[in-house]
Amino acid sequence: MNVKDEALRYWTLGCAVVPFKAKEKRPLVEWKQWEEQRQTKEEFDRLPWEKADGLALVCGTKLNNGLYLAVVDYDVKNLPEEIVEKGKQLVREFPITQMEETPSGGLHLMYFCREKPRTVSAYHNVCALEIIGEKKLVVVCPSVGYKRLNDNTPTEIGSINRMFEEVLTKNGIQIKTKENFWFGREDLGEEKYRGKDPPCIERLRRGTMEGLRNEYGIRLASYLANFRQINPKNVLKSLKIWNKLNKPPLEEKELENILKSALHGGYIFGCSDPILWKNCNREKCPIAPKDKTKLLTKEQKERAEKILENDILRYVLEYGKQRLIGEDNVLLINFVEICSGQTKYPISAIIEGYSGSGKNESLRAIKPLIPEEWLFEFTTSTPEAIKYIPDDFSGTLLIYEASGMQSKTSTLGLRAIGEGESIETIYPVRDEATGKMRLERYRTNARNFITTESDLDVQADLFRRTLKVSMNHALVLTKRVIAKKIRDAQLPDSLKALLSIQQQSFNVEDFQNALRLVDWKAEVVLFAPFHLLKLVDMAVTVEQKVAVRTHIDKILNFARVLALLYQRQRVNIQYGETHIVIAAPEDVFNAIQILGEAIFSTITRIGKRQREVLELFGEDVELDKHMVATKIGVSETTARKILKSLAQLGFLHEERPERKNQPYVYRLEKKPLPLGILESSSSYRLFWQKSVKTLLNRCCSAVPQGGIKILNEHLAEQPVMLEEKSIPLSGTTDTQPFAVVQNSFSEKNPFKDGLLEIPNEKTLKTEKSCPLEISKIKSLVRLTTHIEDKCVLCGKTGKMDFQVDLIDGSWGLLCDVCGTKLSQKLKDNIG
């Protein structure tokens, strides 16, 4: 049979063909391009058939009949007799098809598949069988040494991979799943590994002492035989070389038993294996998975999950306040913004403040809590460092000591590419040829950035894409910071560790692992209150009002990131590969509470110092720079700049002096309205609850039974308390009223034209119910989530620490003082 004629027959079927030198086992031409594109007749005719003594086919490409060519390869070369015999028995269980004998005495079973075949070689040393599928060549008759064993044509089957696994499973061979691939690398599990040995294996090769020889030996033998898929004879040679380094060496019979155990046991070891983990050097490892969660042990995952079940923001403050006090919201904003770099909702920010106000410290205070692979740091004094960012980096840029954000010589510029896709940096470099400065651009995969900024005035265009975060310049805080530094000087960190002073209640490594376990790629459903429309009232100029259109995204994205952070405590929807988290009212409340000052500064473009000056003005008050400088304790130059900026923003009216030597006089033009979004929180909770129930019902109706999974659905069923009245806590709390809900919703469909409507607050009713008697209290629990609200007993507004549930289904939130008192009263009553 002529090689070219047989090749033409296969080519007519739609198969890409390659002239082959069978005796040298190599193709005569480059063939990779035919994996994705059809081989043309012109290409076929130009192939050097006159030099070929063999024919190879490109597997895994679609043929003219819409099917794929794939081969079950029974390869017996250099394998122990028992493995060859096992493979021989398994071959009989595959469907009858075109069969060819190979030069080594093996077999090729050729099939036409309806599903694209994956190449599988992981079982060669287990049962002498492989699948030759996509991106692989198979040598066929009439190549030298190959022989047709029957007249059959390839049999049509559904999936060769599924058929292959069924035959192996039926005969007691364990199938590799995502959980049991070497080093957790599924992408390396189907073919022989040909790369560099990881550091843990290099360490095993150097031998060991008595007590660990068998443990090292089975891992090394399994790695060579099952992962690198080296033939067993050569594996035994490697084991003998390794054994010479052991103290003392094992007997040769023991080495043979180790190899036999590795071949028959199909052992798989990974980064979480105690011995390999102990010898790990991740920074130099060419194999370790990028996803570090695959490296975690069961115990590490359990500790991380416990953190995710608690108040994560409380942990952040607990840790961050060890280095920076008085800036709780700044710490939380920085933390959430860094987390946002892992999501579909990235948020960038500029941190402003005087030199020494703690801008850089606000980032460094929480940085140890963040997985190191999420961050890339540099300063504007060395902007060219951005060129050394890893290609696979996808996180947050931390840019310290930025003096400006415009693309001018000696400053760093940042430009967004797409909507949260990546960031392009623009920075000055000196041209070595001409000696002149020029601007260079470098595109990164970074999702967002946080930078420190000292200047008072920042370009308006940049504010439309970033949050403005201002540090606290209050004199009281300055004194607190100085006092803290004096105290810290008395106890260095080493002494604190020795004396167990000021140690946080959690492990930092566990916290990092907890963040890694969060599904940051999930989408978030957010039923936000329409009270957010009041943001427009904060703006003064038309430009500011228009900019609110983009500022709203920052608030919504902040709430979305909080929902992802607390997703273990939120309603989740899962179907197929889709994961959706439903944000809770607490996520919105916390976002507004944390961002309050930043929202004001971002929309109005005035910082804390400017706001302090603005508060000096009443309706009939006129001030100049001398008066302002005296009142707030700054220089007259600074006072003049602040007054000028407030006038430019439309808040103050500037009057020229009648005489040259007199200062400008300023009076109030307009004050920004305060943000009253947190009003009517109970009606918003009811709106949220109804919206979630409606959404879940629609999802369950749209997806076939069993195709959708809802987690924490009970969170949408909890009773909702209406607007509370301040109830003072006295010695007779048993007689004080508690608010309950009646007729919480009208029957009106909340979906109208595809949009959710906020319920009319007039349809909500409250009434005084039974007194808060001990006998009517169902439970009192301490909250694990950070919730800002009003205490139903004392009326205090702020962080709530307890929830009390009554037997009639109503409930309320209590501050720490009232909750503690009520808890003690319950204990006394039980006693």
3-class DSSP assignment, residue 230: coil
Amino acid identity at 346: P
Does the pLDDT value for residue 99 go beyond 90?
yes
Amino acid identity at 478: T
Q: What is the DSSP pairing of strand 437-443 with strand 422-430?
A: antiparallel
Residues β-bridged to residue 71: 110, 132
| Residue 145 contacts residue 103 (beta carbons within 8 Å) | yes
> What's the confidence (pLDDT) of residue 719?
58
CA-closest candidate to residue 67, choices 133, 20, 136? 133
**CA contacts within 13 A on the Cβ side of 78:** 11
Euclidean distance between CA atoms 252 and 268, whole angstroms: 24
Does the pLDDT value for residue 414 go beyond 70?
no
**Strands annotated E in 754-796:** 755-756, 765-771, 777-790
- pLDDT tens digits, residue range 578-627? 899 999 998 988 888 888 777 777 776 666 677 788 888 887 888 999 99
> What's the confidence (pLDDT) of residue 284?
78
| Residue 184 contacts residue 271 (beta carbons within 8 Å) | yes
Query: How would residue 458 be classed by pLDDT, with cut points 50, 70 and 90?
Result: very low
Sign of CA dihedral 444, 446, 450, 456: positive
> What's the confidence (pLDDT) of residue 781?
79
**What stretch of H or E contains 802?**
strand 797-806
Q: Locate tokens 């946002």: which residue?
A: 340
Mean pLDDT score across all residues of the chain: 78
Who wins on pLDDT, 778 or 695? 695
Give the CA radius of gyration of the chain: 35
Euclidean distance between CA atoms 56 and 631, whole angstroms: 88
Does the pLDDT value for residue 816 go beyond 70?
yes
Q: Where are the domains of the chain?
A: 3-175, 180-295, 324-482, 607-668, 720-830
Euclidean distance between CA atoms 261 and 232, whole angstroms: 12
Does the pLDDT value for residue 782 go beyond 80?
no
- pLDDT tens digits, residue range 330-351? 999 999 999 999 999 988 888 8
> What's the confidence (pLDDT) of residue 751?
28
Fold of 607-668: Arc Repressor Mutant, subunit A (1.10.10)
> What's the confidence (pLDDT) of residue 741?
26
Structure tokens at 445: 């995969």
- pLDDT tens digits, residue range 4-60? 999 999 999 999 999 999 888 889 998 988 988 899 999 999 999 999 999 999 998
Residue 24 DSSP symbol: T
Query: How would residue 281 be classed by pLDDT, with cut points 50, 70 and 90?
Result: confident
CATH of 324-482, one of 3.90.1520, 1.10.3230, 3.40.50, 1.10.3470: 3.40.50
Does the pLDDT value for residue 754 go beyond 50?
no
Query: DSSP per residue over 288-348, as a string?
Result: S-S-GGGG--HHHHHHHHHHHTS-HHHHHHHHHTTT--S-HHHHHHHHHHHHHTTSSS--E
| Residue 470 contacts residue 458 (beta carbons within 8 Å) | no
Confirm or reject CATH 3.30.2250 for domain 3-175, answering yes or no: yes
**Strands annotated E in 15-162:** 17-21, 26-27, 54-58, 68-74, 98-101, 107-113, 129-132, 137-140, 147-148, 155-157
Does the pLDDT value for residue 725 go beyond 80?
no
The least confident of 409-413, 628-632, 819-823 is 409-413
Euclidean distance between CA atoms 469 and 89, whole angstroms: 71
Question: Rounded to an integer, what is the distance from CA 50 to the centroid of its chain?
Answer: 56
CA-closest candidate to residue 22, choices 132, 192, 142, 149? 142
Does the pLDDT value for residue 728 go beyond 80?
no
CA-closest candidate to residue 695, choices 681, 708, 684, 676? 708
| Residue 19 contacts residue 28 (beta carbons within 8 Å) | yes
> What's the confidence (pLDDT) of residue 211?
82
Other C-beta atoms within 10 Å of 207: how many? 17
Structure tokens at 583: 């944000």
Who wins on pLDDT, 303 or 272? 303
Euclidean distance between CA atoms 603 and 536, whole angstroms: 9
Distances (CA, A) of 106 to 88, 101, 102, 275, 308: 9, 6, 5, 38, 54
> What's the confidence (pLDDT) of residue 774?
75
- Among 191-195, 223-227, 510-514, 665-669, top mean pLDDT goes to 510-514
Query: DSSP per residue over 603-655, as a string?
Result: HH---HHHHHHHTT--TT-EE-HHHHHHHHT--HHHHHHHHHHHHHTTSEEEE
Tell me the average pLDDT across 80-107.
92
Structure tokens at 226: 């099952």
Other C-beta atoms within 10 Å of 301: how many? 17
